[in-house]
Structure 1
């Protein structure tokens, strides 16, 4: 397998698509929000990126869950392995692509996970606490367990932080003995984008997505009967635009706060990827500004060298 990772707006999806087109490979998405149907603009699916020279590159793990549901890491791991086995059985190259560090690391490292039931008593105790206090509590739990399963990348709302605390508490009380799923051997490529260029692209892309109808997309989901708090749970675009739609923020406040939040999110993604390197994952970083053909050629050369060295 080849893995293409990078922060938001780094251009990782076009690289993965170009690589898949060249090799006849298929893409496995590693994005915690693109799993949801009809959440297209806000999650940045950019499905046009999967069309290369007029041909659609096959992709998996996008549009597999209904909005309003709480898809989780355990489900992702199961769905990943099903799709991965299917791609391999047909003799195709699996290409994992995404920016959700937790999802990437769980499948690459073969982490053992179990479905964690809700704990109503714990939820009641935590309700009303600030995101800051919840994040501190999560940090203390992680120190006790030695877990790398959550960081602020995936807990940017109080609801998500409470769920993360629920999972870490359950895992402390119900320790798992050994991994049930194998680690997946993969060449890992990181798309390295200059901080200022990344900030510029994030702002430009946010404006474009708002022009494309991101507010109307979220109004439509609420119109379907999805509760605003369930959309706020998904964070970033869904958090701030929902707050605007229900009247808690002005348009300018929404734009300013969301822009800052996405910049912070990209920074936290890079922190996660650097942490993966410290935890033993070898990431080959490629300059985002290189021509596409050069990027693809470099990846194929690295793959060939890795194969020869085994």
Structure 2
């Protein structure tokens, strides 16, 4: 049975208080003994102890703590782009032109809590959201190893919710994914790290992602719609560089983002009759009229779970505020 882990501090504690880990049972927490500074420490040294905790040991009220991101900022934050056909098409692209896995990074320093505010920088006007399934490594990848679909449990520890918040007016005109996606608070993660059993890893395709803004559904899709599956991505990453226990891989987002490609006629005009500078100026001017982009006071709610509720990653809820 999946283990629902959280990282937390007492609600009234100072921000620099030493975080603790625990297992959630209903509305209570069974605290885990010991100190695990990083996600890697917890997975290496505390995972089995967490599996031994029972509801009888759940003595701490969930409402009495502040929940922190279950992935610590020392871990790598790797992302996949255009990994759902629906998102490829809404971006004005043809999936047939993407026979490769698009991989980039976000700064780990942008990781924030599942209920913390998302801060929109003063110069950013086109703030967007992207719900994604986060994979957390259970061990270091062996350079060059090949991960097969039936061996995910040997490589991965668990899953979590990621919101790949993006400043489109930085990312797109500048062609800078890292800059446009790495501002402080642009990586809400959690609330939980769901540790899966070997047989539960075979159900990752059944996980359904839902993102709402102010109660209105914007994104909804099953994780099985990914173009490049977890075992393919892990295999490719193992061929690129070191990947270590506790590192986070965000697996891409489906359709429903605020950013949309212009129509074919507009694209033709932009391509043939405008300079690059003029093209992006026109894009930003038009996009500013799009009511789907996030504004201060907007509230995002993200959930990922199987339809039968057997695997449930909880609900992330964040509010947009001005810098």
- Identify, as 1 or 2, the structure richer in strand: 2
- Identify, as 1 or 2, the structure richer in helix: 1
In the superposition, the TM-score normalised over structure 2's length comes to: 0.24
